[in-house]
């Protein structure tokens, strides 16, 4: 299995993962895409559209964690959902968007997450998110860091349709 990590404090990690999903779908490879920290109205509109066009190649799921008052409870629910991800065998690619937040909030240790990753049954695993511990980065074959140099949020704090969602 090829393991890819897309991290950093810049915008575009999920967008990069979506681009990779499109590439895999174009090559007739099946993709399971799970978002752990996105609302159903953010990047999911792109993924839901792709899923409608390619229902046999893309399965998009959202955990719906973002925006809840008690994030710890929601993250724990998301962690339980990961058990089901380990059982997946019908996908060439598994993309776990914003999984690194689960590491941070649930304080997962190295042994637990390494075992989880190594038990996945796929040809390629892609994980996105910020604040990756050094030991976590070492697990991956390819690591890309997206660095923020400047962002419109710094001035307006508003998301822009078509750019941010």
Q: Which of 16, 32, 26, 14 is nearest to 123 (CA)?
A: 32
Instruction: Tell me whether residue 163 is in a domain.
Output: no
Helices and strands of the chain, counted as H and E runs: 6, 6
Query: Does residue 112 lie within any of the structural domains?
Result: yes
Domain holding 126: CATH number?
3.40.50.300
Cα angle vertex 36, ends 135, 60, to 5°?
120
Q: What residues does 95 pair with on adjacent strands?
A: 33, 126
> Across the chain, what does the average pLDDT equal?
81
Establish if 37 belongs to a structural domain: yes
15-30 mean pLDDT:
93
User: Is 1 within a domain?
Assistant: no
Q: Is residue 2 in some structural domain? A: no
For residue 61, tell me if it sits in a domain.
Answer: yes
Mean pLDDT over 76-81 rounds to: 68
131 vs 80, higher pLDDT: 131
Looking at the predicted structure, is the pLDDT value of residue 25 above 70?
Answer: yes
What is the span of the domain harbouring residue 108? 10-153
User: If you average pLDDT over residues 135-159, what whole number do you get?
Assistant: 85
Confidence of residue 4 (pLDDT cuts 50, 70, 90): very high
Does residue 162 form part of some domain? no
158 lies in a domain?
A: no
Distance (Å, whole) CA 79 – CA 52: 27
Among residues 24, 35, 85, 87, the alpha carbon closest in space to that of 58 is found at: 24
Note the pLDDT tens digit of each residue in 80-126: 677 677 777 889 999 998 888 777 777 777 888 888 898 888 999 99
Q: How many domains does the chain have?
A: 1
pLDDT band at 153 (very low <50, low <70, confident <90, very high): confident
């Amino acid at each position: 299995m090829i393991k890819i990590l897309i991290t950093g404090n810049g915008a575009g990690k999920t967008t990069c993962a979506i681009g990779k999903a499109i590439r895999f779908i174009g090559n007739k490879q099946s993709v399971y895409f799970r978002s752990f920290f996105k609302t159903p109205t953010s990047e999911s509109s792109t993924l839901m559209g792709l899923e409608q066009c390619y229902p046999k190649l893309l399965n998009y799921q959202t955990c719906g964690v973002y925006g809840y008052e008690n994030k710890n409870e929601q993250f724990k629910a998301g962690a339980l959902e990961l058990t089901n991800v380990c059982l997946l065998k019908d996908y060439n690619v598994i993309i776990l968007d914003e999984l690194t937040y689960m590491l941070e909030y649930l304080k997962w240790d190295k042994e637990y997450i390494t075992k989880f990753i190594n038990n996945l049954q796929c040809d390629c695993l892609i994980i996105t998110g910020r604040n990756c511990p050094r030991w976590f980065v070492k697990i991956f074959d390819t690591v890309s860091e997206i660095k923020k140099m400047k962002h419109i949020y710094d001035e307006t704090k508003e998301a822009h349709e078509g750019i941010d969602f």
